[in-house]
Amino acid sequence: MRRCTALADALRLLRPELGYRCDQRLTEMDFGCWEGVRWQDIPKAAIDEWTARFDRWRFGGRESVQELMDRVGAAWRESCGIPGPQLWITHAGVARAALLYSKGTQAITRSEDWPLAGPAFGECWRLSQGQSSLAPLYVMASPHLRDSAIS
- Any domain includes 146: no
Give the number of domains in the chain. Answer: 1
- Any domain includes 99: yes
Question: What's the pLDDT tens digit per position in 29-64?
Answer: 999 999 999 999 999 999 999 999 999 999 999 999
Question: What's the pLDDT tens digit per position in 59-99?
Answer: 999 999 999 999 999 999 998 888 878 888 888 899 999 99
Question: What's the pLDDT tens digit per position in 89-138?
Answer: 888 899 999 999 989 999 999 999 999 888 877 788 888 776 544 455 67
- Any domain includes 150: no
- Any domain includes 85: yes
CATH number at residue 93: 3.40.50
- Any domain includes 67: yes
3-state secondary structure string across the chain: CHHHHHHHHHHHHHCCCCCCCCCHHHCCCCCHHHCCCEHHHCCHHHHHHHHHCCCCCCECCCECHHHHHHHHHHHHHHHHCCCCCEEEEECHHHHHHHHHHHCCCCCCCCHHHCCCCCCCECCEEEEEECCEEEEEEEEEECCCCCCCECC
- Any domain includes 147: no
Query: Residue 70 sits in which domain range?
Result: 2-141
